[in-house]
Structure 1
Amino acid sequence: MDHQPNNPLHGLTLQRILEELVDHYGWEELGQIVKVRCFNNDPSIKSSLKFLRRTEWARKEVEQLYLDTFFL
């Protein structure tokens, strides 16, 4: 098994990251921070995960927000 001691996202799923951000910010504020339609129009975890898995720039923004929120 690959160990990545310097990667704080290692072992976290995108779903868990998104759920924690939604719990912390709520959909409305999250949609203001990361400007993607799936956070602003009828948001759901399922539709957001589908979009984030297909859209690298948006996934990176969400991952960076997670790091900035919970690790800095």
Structure 2
Amino acid sequence: MRHEGGKIVFFRVPYKTRINDKWCPVVRYDTARGFVHGDLMSVNGDVKKTPLFNQDNNSALTFAENDLKSN
């Protein structure tokens, strides 16, 4: 996470799970590629990118943390 002037300008919130002694990515929220989005990863490596429109980075980070904690 990176701050500038009291605002979050970059963040990455990943969730991984352990399958057969290997850590596998499941979902990641971040600001890469210039916009806030969630990436849902499948076991075959496909990634579904979902933009989080109408949220500033601070609100999006709160959403991401709450989503991962509740699911």
TM-score, reference length from structure 1: 0.33
Normalized per residue, the structure richer in helix is 1
TM-score, reference length from structure 2: 0.33
The one of the two structures with greater contact order (alpha-carbon pairs below 8 A, sep at least 6) is 1
Normalized per residue, the structure richer in strand is 2
